[in-house]
Amino acid sequence: MATESAGDLASGSRRATAWKLSLCNDAESGAPSPTRLRVSGFNSVCQGTHILFREFSFVQATPHNRASFLRAFWRCFRTVGKNGDLLTMKEYHCLLQLLCPDFPLELTQKAARYVFWAPEANSALGGRAS
Q: What 8-state DSSP symbol labels residue 24?
A: S
CB contact at 8 A, 58 and 65? yes
Distance CA 55, CA 74 (A): 19
* pTM for this predicted structure: 0.62
Distance CA 66, CA 70 (A): 6
Q: Minimal CA–CA distance to 44: which of 74, 24, 64, 19? A: 64
Summarize pLDDT for 37-58 with one digit per residue, the tens: 888 777 877 887 888 889 999 9
3-class SS at 33? coil
Summarize pLDDT for 54-113 with one digit per residue, the tens: 999 999 999 999 999 999 999 999 998 888 888 899 999 999 999 999 999 999 999 998
Q: Under 8 Å CB-to-CB from 20, ≥6 apart: which residues?
A: none
Distance CA 107, CA 66 (A): 13
Domain boundaries, the chain: 2-47, 56-124
